[in-house]
Amino acid sequence: MFDEGLFKIFSEEPEQQSEQHSNSDVREIESVDFGKKTVVLSVGGSLVVQEKPNTSYIAKLAERISNLYKSGYRFAIVVGGGIVCRNYIASAKALGANNFLADSIGIRITRLNAMLMIQALENAYPKVLTDVFQAKSIIDSGKIPVYGGLLPGITTDCVAALVAEYLDAEFINLTNVDGVYSADPKVNPHAKFYPEISYDRLLSLIKLAGSKPGQNVVLDLPACLILKRSNIPAIVLNGNDLDNFVAAVEGGEFRGTRIIGEENKL
């Protein structure tokens, strides 16, 4: 079972050393004043890769993010692995790899996908990041930090939740369904859709899914625990509808699931 102690590896990192490293990477870029909120996007691998990379989608998403960036919003992006990642993990397991090694292979796939996102984004930082502490100085410099996976056992949704927690940012999960359902709507057409759900209710829905390399759920348990412990504003929505995504970022009406802290609001 995951608990908050798992994430102490990030809080115990020498922040001064990490900030010195990140500052050296961006020292040639002047600070930028945005004036609007910061959003951490967890982009599902199913959106960016099917049988091959979905170049058209990546370009369109990057264009929307760039337009929002120009209007004053700040972003950090974490990119998932998708079916290619799951296929590699399955092959590794068939060849005898344990969960740690299978996850390590999957992480490399997510970083390849993150490299594609960097190529498409006008203001992206040019390297796939592996240090949560670098996100703030890179954003402050006027660039968009992009991540893949970080550690075995931690999904890209979890990475995005950690980055959002560090930045005091909002969290948006772009997936291939409309939001949070009581069950997989592709398997169960009678699954209930939740336009709003509490952290506790969400935890009760996802904890039975377990934690396996390449797992394919809307949000995993560690990510939800991070969102809950810091009461992070969070949204899950279908990333294929980019107009809907823009509306969610801008605070307009959107179709998706808003995750809230108090059960009595449901």
pLDDT digits (tens, 9 = 90+) for 97-114: 999 999 999 999 999 999
User: Are residues 50 and 240 in contact, defined by beta-carbon separation less than 8 angstroms?
Assistant: no
The full 3-state SS of 113-162, as one line of letters, equals HHHHHHHHCCCEEEEEECCCCHHHHHHHCCCEEEECCCCCCCCHHHHHHH
- CA nearest 148: which of 67, 57, 247, 49? 49
Average pLDDT over residues 174-194: 87
Q: Is the pLDDT of residue 216 over 80?
A: no
Q: Is the pLDDT of residue 5 over 60?
A: no
Enumerate the β-bridge partners of residue 193.
Answer: 181
Write down the pLDDT at residue 209: 54
Write down the pLDDT at residue 191: 85
Write down the pLDDT at residue 208: 64
Q: Is the pLDDT of residue 31 over 50?
A: no
- Residue 29 vs residues 21, 137, 142, 263: alpha-carbon distances, Å: 15, 10, 7, 44
- Residue 213 vs residues 45, 123, 255: alpha-carbon distances, Å: 14, 32, 30
What is the pLDDT confidence band of residue 263, given thresholds at 50, 70 and 90? Answer: low
Better pLDDT: 213 or 18: 213
Helix (H, G, I), strand (E, B) or coil at 73: coil
Q: Is the pLDDT of residue 210 over 70?
A: no
The pTM of the full predicted model, rounded to 2 decimals, is 0.83
- Supply angle C-alpha 69, 73, 78, rounded to 5: 80
Average pLDDT, the chain: 86
Domains of the chain: 33-265 (3.40.1160.10)
